[in-house]
Amino acid sequence: MKRKAVIMDESNMKRAIARITYEILERNKGTQDLCVIGIFSRGVALAQRIADKIAELENEKVPCGALDITAFRDDRKPASTADRTKIDFDVSNKKIVIIDDVFYTGRSTRAAIDAIMERGRPQSIQLAVLVDRGHRELPVRPDYVGKNLPTSREESVKVFVRETDGSDSVAIYSMQEE
């Protein structure tokens, strides 16, 4: 893969996360019954940042969890049976905001919804993504988007977060050899 362009740098990501956080708080009228759950792996870091931003703005911590959707995917078999999910709260009757890094076909979101529904019946499930690149295969769309980025299927979008990658950025790559 060859990197074509950096789409977001650290400051762009920080602004997008802040904007998404404000939109979540506005739509949900505060933090009452609000929980955020990040999809492994980079969605977890983004979810923690959103939870931290909510705490900074509202002086109230919201539950934050990490969701492993591997066992719920319909496009690949799990390599291992180890479930890394860490949700230390009841999802029943809660307003759940799933956080993911890149929205593409919608299949990860479907898997995340299945995984959450297995744990209880939330009041609502919303979706926040840093980048929406299009190419839906399912009738799902994010409620909160940091950046819409139309791409071709021959391109790949990679999100880098300092927690796992050492720095923050979003880049687009060509999957074809040039």
**Sheet bearing 34-39, strands edge to edge:** 64-67, 34-39, 95-103, 124-132, 144-148
Residue 128: DSSP 8-state: E
pTM for the whole structure: 0.94
Task: Give the pLDDT score at 75.
Answer: 74
pLDDT tens, residue by residue, 76-96: 766 666 789 999 999 999 999
Residues paired with residue 128 on neighbouring β-strands, in sequence order: 99, 144
- The residue count of the chain comes to 178
Q: What percent of the chain has pLDDT over 90?
A: 90
pLDDT in tens, 35-61: 999 999 999 999 999 999 999 999 999
Tokens of 88: 């230390």
Phi-psi region of 112 (alpha: psi -120 to 50; beta: other; left: phi over 0): alpha
Low-confidence ranges of the chain (pLDDT < 50): none
User: pLDDT value at position 78?
Assistant: 62
User: How far, in Å, CA of 164 to CA of 45, rounded?
Assistant: 8
Dihedral over Cα of 76, 117, 94, 63: its sign: negative
